[in-house]
Amino acid sequence: MLLGIGHGLLAPPTLAGTVGLIPALAGSAAAVGGLVQQMTGALGGFFVGVFPHHGPVNMVLLMLGWAVCGLAAQLVLFRVVLRR
């Protein structure tokens, strides 16, 4: 339930920010945003299948790895925005 609430609060402003940057390219931006979401989900599903499921430690490490990737992407985004 909390995941659904969080997604509902974060997804609309994110998509609006993606397509609102250059209004003439809104359709292309929405397509690329959807592609990135689908590919990230596919990679996540692949890595969940690759790691052994013998205990919760592997899943915790996988989730921690994805969290670190998200944090790194956010830091790169902040750095790019601050340059402008």
pLDDT-derived band of residue 67, with 50, 70 and 90 as boundaries?
A: very high
In the predicted model, is pLDDT for residue 71 greater than 90? yes
DSSP string, the chain: -HHHHHHHHHHHHHHHHHHSSSGGGHHHHHHHHHHHHHHHHHHHHHHHHHS--SSHHHHHHHHHHHHHHHHHHHHHHHHHHHH-
Structure tokens at 5: 């609430």
Q: What is the mean pLDDT of the chain?
A: 86
pLDDT-derived band of residue 76, with 50, 70 and 90 as boundaries?
A: very high
pLDDT-derived band of residue 56, with 50, 70 and 90 as boundaries?
A: confident
Top mean-pLDDT range of 20-34, 48-62, 68-82: 68-82
How confident is the model at residue 83, as a pLDDT? 85
CA 50, CA 48: separation in Å to the nearest integer?
A: 6
CA 24, CA 39: separation in Å to the nearest integer?
A: 25
**Contacting residues for 58 by C-beta, under 8 A, at least 6 apart:** 51, 52
In the predicted model, is pLDDT for residue 18 greater than 90? no
